[in-house]
Structure 1
Amino acid sequence: MNTFRTLHRSILVLFAVVVLAIVTLVHFSISKIVAEQSRAQQQSLSPAVSLIVEQLLKPLHTSEALGHSTELVTLMEGDEVDEAAIFKTLNRLEREFGLSFFIASENAKRQFNSDGTTIDLIEGEVSWYFKYRDGPQDAVADIGKWEDTHFYIDLKVFDEDGRFLGFFGVGKSLRSFINVFDSYKEQYGYDFLFVDEKGDIMLSSDPSLVASYSDFTNLSELPWYASLPITVQDEQALNNKLVTIDQKDFLIAEVKLNQFGWTVFLLSPLEDRQTEISQAFIFSVVTLLVVVFSLFLLIYNLLYYFRRDMQPDLIVRHANRLPDRTNLELIYQSLLKEQRSISVILISVDDFGHIIDAHGRNAGDDVLDKVVAYLSDHLREQDVLGRWSSEEFIVLLPQTGPHEAFDTAQNLRHGIATLTPLSESPQLQLTASLGVSFTATTRSMNEVTAHAEDALYQAKRDGHNLVRMQLIE
């Protein structure tokens, strides 16, 4: 009985371990998929951020640093500007930084470019100057010079008294942007859209969307954008939106460029993202299956161990697995040494030879197993059940007096007599005879069992299905 309780507890513990392992691995799998998705998102954004810093923010920071220099303020604050000095400075800056520079002087109402050209700032003809001069922004990003379209960063310049002196700016040809975008698209597979607050596309990796002669393409003109819900279009909230362009799925990520009031939309091909995430998911599932399979193998082997390698002093359900006389002798000595007193019950199935003759050896084995199963379920944990002979069993009852042992024997006798018949032999009624003995001093097992055998044979002589007791004088 103790063995089966141990086995039952072990199965429950293993079941709990399996459930916990599955829950943990499912959580791990979901976390890994989310992490892989985040990693893929970050991996796609990192080059884009590098491009934005290199191509847009670096020119902005360059113009801001130069726009606050004393040299530049000195060139622009006089009532009469020194054109030669201005061109010399702009030409030197172009050589040093590899960018186009300009100064738009408020006093001279003229724009000086680093390529040596000038433009008169006449209201109505040069609209950008007067629009941005009266605007609140100190730094403005714009597209201009349509014969060779440039991206410009215009920075307002003030003297130390806060008087507006004009604009200092830096420009880059859109051809250089397109070349860089092509390189990034070939390497990473995604497209860029730089969009202002009105939805006009200022820069793009698609050359067909780049502004030409002040004609900007608006987001609303793009078929995939027009298919989005109106609320999404109104707010230009495209982050993590899935769109289909030319029968291919793209996932959109947003990067805000607050310095210019722009939003960068990064269109990442979903097929590449799905491949990366699918690989992570497959790895997680395989790991889950391997762990679960390993746990079930562990359970199977533990069950096999309990079935094959039980301790001989533990109770089992099969008669041929009970401890034999040799093992019982060791158990008896150990119990007597520890407990100081012990009762012995010998149990014999009545008419067992007749049962075999009438119903066969298999029926006889079934009878023994049925009796062992009953005895195992109705003994205490400290009691020991063993095989004494072909149709006889022995029960060792430690710390049990003779009268208590006799009562136990009567209960076992009654229980065996009321067992349900074998399904193959419904007419077979089982009974057993029992003999009881007891010792409270150090005696050999043979001496105690000899008295129990005498009591057992007396029960058989008196008519079977009886309990008799013989104590040692």
Structure 2
Amino acid sequence: MKIKNNFYIVITISVLMIALSISISFINFMVSLHSTETDLKTRSLPLTVDNIYTEIQKHVIEPNLVASMMAHDTFLKDWLMNDEQNRDKIIRYLDTIKNKYGMFVAFLVSEKTQSYYTQNGFLEHLSSTKPDNEWYFKFKKLQGDNEINLDFNNHLDNSLIMFINHKIYDNDFHFVGATGIGLKISYINDMLKRFRQEYNFTVIFINEKGEIVLSERTDTNIKSLSDTPALYNLSDQIIVKDSKILEYQKDGENYLLKTKYIPELDLYLLVEAKLDDFTKNVRQTF
């Protein structure tokens, strides 16, 4: 009888030890999981957004400042007001901008003559009936003084180019033309691709309407937040000037989204992280 009791005691202790071990492992798992998610929210994600913003300053904000400088340049304004005399001067000017700042193209459009110039010289006369020229006539009607858009230009080797356009006004604030620069999208695309591959973050930029202005070139047909119900439902929290970290579910997966408004571009930077990409090592360990 004593042996039988000892056997029950050993079994009971063994069961308790196994239960305790499982409980400790589960607690450690939950602590590690919580720690990983907390680190992602409070350190990794905000730090990555700051790194992206630094990259954006180099790749986008600087070109935007260059385009703004061109739009306020008195030489450029005077040249337009003097009936566009001596085209060589404006060609040299655009060529200097293009080479000095490493742009793909620097351009100028005259509202008076509808002439489109680049660093290579006169390109064409714009017309509202030409599909390739629609950007200019839409741009004129915008309330803002600048915009960023992506476009294919058949005159510029048909590459996808990010154009930064700025309006030019005379001394009486009359619209006299548009100027700006173009960057091959490969530069921006490579940057966004690197953040996805190295940091597991998906990066997009949207405007006030929730339309995607910049994103990595993929096979996706997503053009705005409205194409992703999970994000569209959070639009009121995403399109705000204050930076936020939001949690949501998409396709059965949990996600974190860090937002940051970039006033220099009047765009919203969105950095998306799928939690499983950061917690799978913890799950595999336990």
Q: TM-score, normalised by structure 2?
A: 0.71
Provide the secondary structure at the position in 2 that maps to 1:208. coil
**Residue deviations 1:410-467 (CA, integer Å, cap 9, x gap):** xxxxxxxxxxxxxxxxxxxxxxxxxxxxxxxxxxxxxxxxxxxxxxxxxxxxxxxxxx
Match of 2:141 among 134, 137, 147: 134
Match of 2:45 among 24, 41, 46: 41
Partner residue in 2 for 1:121 = 126
Cα deviation, residue 217, structure 1 = 2.0
Match of 1:77 among 74, 77, 81: 81
Cα deviation, residue 235, structure 1 = 6.2
Q: Distance in 1 between matches of 2:238 and 2:43?
A: 25
- Equivalenced residues, count: 238
Cα deviation, residue 38, structure 1 = 1.9
Decide whether the 8 Å contact of 1:153 with 1:171 is kept in 2: yes
**Residue deviations 1:238-281 (CA, integer Å, cap 9, x gap):** 943334567654311111234444222111242465589x8xxx
Runs of 4 or more, structure 1, over 6 Å off, are 33-36
Match of 2:177 among 145, 166, 183: 166
Amino acid at match of 2:71: G
Judged with a 3 Å threshold, the aligned counterparts in structure 2 of structure 1 residues 47 and 228 are, in CA distance, closer, same or farther, namely closer
Provide the secondary structure at the position in 2 that maps to 1:43. helix
Partner residue in 1 for 2:21 = none
Judged with a 3 Å threshold, the aligned counterparts in structure 2 of structure 1 residues 82 and 208 are, in CA distance, closer, same or farther, namely farther
Provide the secondary structure at the position in 1 that maps to 2:143. coil
Judged with a 3 Å threshold, the aligned counterparts in structure 2 of structure 1 residues 57 and 220 are, in CA distance, closer, same or farther, namely same
Match of 1:264 among 266, 269, 278: 269
Decide whether the 8 Å contact of 1:182 with 1:205 is kept in 2: yes
Partner residue in 2 for 1:317 = none
Match of 1:226 among 225, 229, 233: 229
Q: Distance in 1 between matches of 2:118 and 2:152?
A: 11
**Residue deviations 1:40-62 (CA, integer Å, cap 9, x gap):** 33212111211221222111111
Higher relative contact order (CA 8 A, sep 6+): 2
Cα deviation, residue 201, structure 1 = 1.7
Provide the secondary structure at the position in 2 that maps to 1:267. strand
Match of 2:202 among 191, 208, 230: 191
Please state if 1:50 is matched with 2:65. no
Cα deviation, residue 180, structure 1 = 1.8
Provide the secondary structure at the position in 2 that maps to 1:136. coil
Cα deviation, residue 71, structure 1 = 2.1
Match of 1:202 among 213, 218, 223: 213
Judged with a 3 Å threshold, the aligned counterparts in structure 2 of structure 1 residues 34 and 269 are, in CA distance, closer, same or farther, namely closer
Decide whether the 8 Å contact of 1:201 with 1:209 is kept in 2: no
Q: Distance in 2 between matches of 1:55 and 1:209?
A: 24
Q: Distance in 1 between matches of 2:231 and 2:63?
A: 34
Q: Note the residue ranges of structure 2 that are not aligned, 5 or more in a row.
A: 1-33
Provide the secondary structure at the position in 2 that maps to 1:176. helix
**Residue deviations 1:295-318 (CA, integer Å, cap 9, x gap):** xxxxxxxxxxxxxxxxxxxxxxxx
What is the root-mean-square deviation of aligned Cα atoms in Å?
3.2
Partner residue in 2 for 1:250 = 255
Q: Distance in 2 between matches of 1:50 and 1:267?
A: 18
Match of 2:223 among 214, 217, 220: 217
Q: Note the residue ranges of structure 1 that are not aligned, 5 or more in a row.
A: 1-29, 211-215, 279-473
Cα deviation, residue 191, structure 1 = 1.1
Partner residue in 1 for 2:7 = none
Judged with a 3 Å threshold, the aligned counterparts in structure 2 of structure 1 residues 209 and 201 are, in CA distance, closer, same or farther, namely farther
Q: TM-score, normalised by structure 1?
A: 0.45
Q: Distance in 2 between matches of 1:133 and 1:206?
A: 28
Please state if 1:107 is matched with 2:107. no
Partner residue in 1 for 2:102 = 98
**Residue deviations 1:290-340 (CA, integer Å, cap 9, x gap):** xxxxxxxxxxxxxxxxxxxxxxxxxxxxxxxxxxxxxxxxxxxxxxxxxxx
Cα deviation, residue 103, structure 1 = 0.3
Judged with a 3 Å threshold, the aligned counterparts in structure 2 of structure 1 residues 193 and 98 are, in CA distance, closer, same or farther, namely same
**Residue deviations 1:116-166 (CA, integer Å, cap 9, x gap):** 461322124322222222322112212223421211111111233333221
Decide whether the 8 Å contact of 2:238 with 2:259 is kept in 1: no
Partner residue in 2 for 1:240 = 245
Q: Distance in 2 between matches of 1:129 and 1:165?
A: 12
| Rg larger in structure | 1
Decide which structure has greater strand share.
2
Provide the secondary structure at the position in 1 that maps to 2:75. helix
Decide whether the 8 Å contact of 1:191 with 1:206 is kept in 2: no
Decide whether the 8 Å contact of 1:193 with 1:205 is kept in 2: yes
Q: Percent of pairs identical after alignment?
A: 19
Provide the secondary structure at the position in 1 that maps to 2:66. helix
